[in-house]
Amino acid sequence: MASAIERVLEIREKALKEIEEAKNLEGLAVIKNIYLAKKSELTSLMGLMRELSQEEKGAFGKAINDAKQAIQDRWAKKAQEMEAKKLQEQLEKEAIDITLPGKEMKAGHINPYYIVIDEVSDIFASMGFEIVEGRDVETDHYNFELLNVPKDHPARDMQDTFYINENQLMRTQTSAAQAHTMIKNEGKKPIKMICPGKCYRRDDDDMTHSHEFGQIEGLVVDKNVSLADLKGTLEMFVKKMFGEKREIRLRSSYFPFTEPSVEVDVSCAKCDGKGCAMCKGTGWIEILGAGEVHPNVLRMCGYDPEVYSGFAFGVGIERVAMLRYGVDDIRRFYQNDIRFIKDFNKN
Ligand code: DAH
């Protein structure tokens, strides 16, 4: 009996020592398997009970249970300490030094060309205009003929362009979208649209000319659309785009696809119409061409000019951006000079 209890105490001491010396959680798991599993030595010692007297049984059973409990408690405590230590080490290893300076995020900027398209589109959309997409490669038919510019028309001289073949060309004006929209609406539906996009011409590039530039076309077709409607619409546009104080002036002009045709000036924002270098002393700055849609154009595009009338206009995108933001050279829009775009975005 004495030796059996001694054996229990021995196991107990050995187990507690091993627990104390365990290096990690894996080692601790092995110890648990040896001393606390169902088939551990302590459990098997219970077999000796049969040979003991009633009194001895009590003392022996107590020794075994005490040993088990002590091992269990110490083991749990050690396991908890090790878990906490491991977590602490992990936290230290993965710590982020929030005092380090962060990485600077460089956000891109929108080219003023596209800002103007968005602004003009917003203004016309608020007046109920639809925004349609045209195409850069056009046929001679849509770019010229349906706009009342037949093959031998002198107006073609000013709009030489890049030809893909005899019939296909890079469009010289967004006005081509007028013909597409009218034909799509089959000569009966009313139209109220704008079409922004690129145009191409064989121009010598200088401060105000580029072989590639943007226009925004506008077209309204319905019954009884007059020049007064054109004036009211453009006045609204100019005030929203350039400020409430701006006025417009219509000068008679010529375009093959409008009759009458006008050129529209806006009062100079810099001198408020008094005359300065920006407006060349006149107090006015030309911003767009416009007019009543020519009856030939309406007819060729399927609308009866006896029933329908309309107005159209074409605005140069870079021209608006240059005026609005004081840009001196059209080529700046295409040079991808980051300083220009950054500077501009401060506005
Ligand atoms: N397409 C003309 C150009 O490129 C601009 C223009 C003038 C468009 C009058 C129009 C218009 O719709 O009515 O010079």
The two beta strands, 137-139 and 212-222, are unpaired
**Which residues, including other chains, have CB under 8 Å from residue 78's CB and lie 6 or more apart?**
19, 20, 22, 28
CA of residue 273 to ligand 1 center, whole Å: 25
Q: Compute the distance from residue 347 Cα to the ligand 1 centre, in Å.
A: 29
Ligand 1 pocket test: pick from 191, 301, 313 the residue with the most ligand atoms within 8 Å of its Cβ.
313
Please tell me the predicted confidence (pLDDT) of residue 346.
53
- Element (H or E) spanning 168, and its range? strand 168-170
Which segments in the chain show pLDDT lower than 50? 347
List, for residues 164-185, the tens digit of each pLDDT value: 999 999 999 999 999 999 999 9
Which one, of 168, 145, 152, 155, lies nearest residue 300 by Cα? Answer: 145
Predicted confidence at residue 127, as pLDDT, reads 97
pLDDT for residue 223: 97
Task: Using the atom order of ligand 1, give the atom closest to the CA of residue 218.
Answer: 12
Which residue's CA is minimally distant from atom 8 of ligand 1? Answer: 314
Instruction: Tell me how far apart the alpha carbons of residues 76 and 19 are, in angstroms, rounded to a whole number.
Output: 10
Mutate to test the pocket of ligand 1, among 257, 292, 297 (most ligand atoms within 8 A of CB): 257
The pLDDT of residue 58 is 87
Q: Report the atom number in ligand 1 closest to the C-alpha of 258.
A: 13
Say what the pLDDT of residue 347 is.
43
- Dist. CA 19–CA 78, nearest whole Å: 7
CA of residue 316 to ligand 1 center, whole Å:
9
Q: What share of the chain is helix, strand, coil (3-state, %, to 5)?
A: 45, 20, 35
Q: Which residues line ligand 1 (CB under 6 A)?
A: 173, 175, 217, 255, 258, 289-291, 312-314
pLDDT of residue 345: 63
CB 310 within 8 A of CB 225: yes
- Ligand 1 midpoint to CA 278 (Å): 23
CATH 3.30.930.10 fits 112-341, yes or no: yes
Q: What residue owns the CA closest to ligand 1's atom 3?
A: 173
